[in-house]
Amino acid sequence: MEFLPFNIMVVGATGVGKSATINAVVNDNSAVVGDGPAPATVDINCYDLDDRMRFWDTPGLGDGIAEDRRHKKKIYGLLRRKRKKRSVTLHTCSRA
């Protein structure tokens, strides 16, 4: 039986701390964290906690209709690919 890592996709608005959350969980500073209103994450990036758990950092939403459509298309594509392997969850971040 093939072992599949548990995938966690972190999704939310720009600037809510998606990348910073991933950095804290994986105890690393690999995910680029923004410093201001401009988005730092422009593509979906993968960060492994270990060989059993993987985090997916996504571009922020809420930066315009065209950008949101482009980002949602990437997010849905990854969800569809990972769902076929029955290994996906979704975590959302929001402003406090």
What pLDDT score was predicted for residue 88? 64
**Is the CA virtual torsion 6, 48, 46, 40 positive or negative?**
positive
Long-range contacts from 19-22, C-beta under 8 angstroms, 24+ separation = 19/57, 21/93, 22/47, 22/55, 22/57
The whole model's pTM is what?
Answer: 0.84
pLDDT in tens, the chain (96 residues): 677 788 888 999 998 999 999 999 999 999 999 887 788 999 999 999 888 889 999 999 999 999 999 999 999 898 888 776 666 666 676 765
pLDDT at residue 7, rounded to an integer: 85
37, two tokens: 């209103």
pLDDT score of 39: 87
